[in-house]
Amino acid sequence: MALRKIVTLPDPILHRKARKVTGFDPDLQTLLDDMLETMRDAPGVGLAAPQVNVPLRAIVVEYGENDDEGQEVPPKLFIVVNPEITRFSKEMETGTEGCLSIPGYVGDVERSLSITVKGQNRHGQPLKIKANGWLARIFQHEVDHLDGVLFPDRAERVWRLDEQGAPEAEMAGD
- Cα 18 to its chain centre, rounded Å, is 14
Least separation in angstroms between CB 124 and Ni ion: 25
Task: Between 124 and 173, name the residue whose CB sits nearer to Ni ion.
Answer: 173
Q: How many residues does the chain have?
A: 174
Task: Between 27 and 165, name the residue whose CB sits nearer to Ni ion.
Answer: 165
Least separation in angstroms between CB 46 and Ni ion: 7
Which regions of the chain does DSSP assign to beta strands (E)? 46-48, 58-63, 76-88, 92-97, 105-112, 114-120, 126-132, 155-161, 167-171
CA distance 101 to 19: 19
Q: Does 170 qualify as catalytic in the annotation? A: no
Task: Between 24 and 40, name the residue whose CB sits nearer to Ni ion.
Answer: 40
Active-site pick, 142, 156, 168, 170 = 142
Least separation in angstroms between CB 70 and Ni ion: 27
CA distance 155 to 114: 18
Task: Between 99 and 136, name the residue whose CB sits nearer to Ni ion.
Answer: 99
| Positions that interact with Ni ion (CB under 5 A) | 99
The alpha carbon torsion through 146, 149, 151, 152 (nearest 10 deg) reads 160
Least separation in angstroms between CB 101 and Ni ion: 5
Cβ atoms of residues 117 and 66 within 8 Å: no
Residue of minimal Cβ distance to Ni ion: 99
Q: Which residues are catalytic?
A: 142
